[in-house]
Amino acid sequence: MLSEARNKTLTQVGAGTPMGDYLRRFWHPIAGAAEFDEKSVKAIRLMGEDLTLYKDLSGTYGLVDRHCPHRRADLSFGYVEDVGIRCNYHGWRMDETGACVEQPFEETYNPKGKLKDRCAITAYPVREVAGLLFAYMGPAPVPQLPIWEPFTWAHGFIEVITADVPCNWFQCQENSCDPVHFEWMHDNWSVRQNGELGPYAPKHFQVAFDEFEYGFTYRRRREGQEETDPMWTTGRVALWPNGFYLGGHFEWRVPVDDENTLSVAWFFTRLPIESEPIAPQKSFWWQAPIKDAHGQWIASHVMNQDIVAWVGQGRIADRSKENLGASDRGIAMIRNRFFEEIEAVASGAEAKGVIRDEQTAQCPKLPIATVELFRDGLPRRDYLASKWFGPRIHDFRWHAGQPEHVRDAFRRAVLGEEYEGLIEALKAADKARGD
């Protein structure tokens, strides 16, 4: 249980708030690079700031103020040029540093004028890694962007999936250190949604939480799991400040403002050996729906179930009314660490997990359970028969709404061209299921 004041400290994200300042010390993923195959400009709100994200004709990304410095038109309606974005109202052009680099009429009328010099706008650095776009919104010097080890893996099918979640980011992140919910929210709720009363999934009987360089790990044992099980020897990772890492995928809960979160997930699905080589840079992006065509919350897929839990806690969970138990030790650890970090950053110290050394940032190691699933390929026959990969050919179980072109590309990547007939049969099965 937390006092209202302390809850506020944890959940406010605006510039100048203690948590807002702490969060700004890290790079945050904000979009999929493949999103910009379809468009070049996007309105985006991050940590309470209205911004414009664009990719100019030279391929440079910019993240700048939403409003033009001239008379405040919305730059997300602008159009990109070789360098920068041009406001659609009177043609002023801004580059990725926020400098105003062109004012067409002013330059014609008064070539020696200096108006441009005082028209710079807010701009934040953007970098692309493994199909993700990351932004840094904090003070200089800009820290290194960690190239986490999974970003360096080869021969995977990479999907970046975004979803708009209407609640505060921190209740989403608490879910990153909450092993027991898997049993109830994912396993058992899915049983009940299938109209069955059981059997329920194996019960948790042991959990452990530990801190390491880049966050926390949680480990779990459920009935039938030995001490040698990777979920107990390695476990999963809650990354500072707002990430969750589960072997084959990352999830980040990026604050949009105090009451909204951008969920950004990065999935790496290893492809069979026969499908190699796969260009590591190729990635897909899609926006996942959270409600169905009737306005009902989607609860059929893993992350949709999580989203239902987060939103159900309220726009900003009222932690003055909760009752924590032994399963919540990880959550208490995260909160305590954040209170300490907020104070440390406010007094000028470095936030834990921020990387300054270029070499270290190239491949910081994370605890990875069942790494062989992601690193080593399987022959196609074993792949399709395996419990882990086989079902993926039918459905993407993490998020509802995988677009047909992505599903098709995945099946083609796994099966190869000679399976054309099978791909058509799978498509027909999708249709029959209503996907």
Residue ranges that bind ligand FES, judged by CB under 6 A: 68, 70-71, 73, 87, 89-92
* Residue 328 in the binding site for Fe ion (CB under 5 A): no
Q: With respect to ligand FES, which residue has the nearer C-beta, 88 or 190?
A: 88
Report in angstroms how near the CB of residue 95 gets to ligand FES at its nearest. Answer: 15
Instruction: Tell me if 215 sits within 8 A of 354, measured CB to CB.
Output: no
* Residue 306 in the binding site for Fe ion (CB under 5 A): yes
Report in angstroms how near the CB of residue 70 gets to ligand FES at its nearest. Answer: 3
In what side-by-side order are the strands of the sheet with 132-136?
27-32, 132-136, 126-129
**Per-residue tokens: 127:** 């970098």
Q: With respect to ligand FES, which residue has the nearer C-beta, 106 or 159?
A: 106
Q: At what angle do helices 404-415 and 420-433 cross, to 10 degrees?
A: 150
**CA distance readout (Å), 59 to 54, 79, 131, 185:** 9, 14, 14, 42
Rounded Cα gap, residues 184 and 302, in angstroms: 12
Instruction: Tell me if 271 sits within 8 A of 277, measured CB to CB.
Output: no
Report in angstroms how near the CB of residue 117 gets to ligand FES at its nearest. Answer: 16
Report in angstroms how near the CB of residue 302 gets to ligand FES at its nearest. Answer: 44
Q: With respect to ligand FES, which residue has the nearer C-beta, 93 or 249?
A: 93
Q: At what angle do helices 329-346 and 4-11 cross, to 10 degrees?
A: 70
Report in angstroms how near the CB of residue 43 gets to ligand FES at its nearest. Answer: 15
Q: With respect to ligand FES, which residue has the nearer C-beta, 89 or 184?
A: 89
What is the bridge-based pairing of β-strands 49-55 and 41-46?
A: antiparallel
Report in angstroms how near the CB of residue 87 gets to ligand FES at its nearest. Answer: 3
Rama region for 119: left / alpha / beta (φ>0; ψ in -120 to 50; rest): alpha
Out of Fe ion, ligand FES, none, which partner does residue 189 contact, by CB within 5 to 8 A per kind?
A: none
Q: With respect to ligand FES, which residue has the nearer C-beta, 91 or 230?
A: 91
Out of ligand FES, Fe ion, none, which partner does residue 174 contact, by CB within 5 to 8 A per kind?
A: none
Q: With respect to ligand FES, which residue has the nearer C-beta, 77 or 212?
A: 77
Q: Which residue is nearest to Fe ion (CB)?
A: 306
Tell me how crowded residue 82 is: count the other CB atoms within 10 A of its CB.
9
Residues at the contact surface with Fe ion, assessed by CB under 5 A: 306
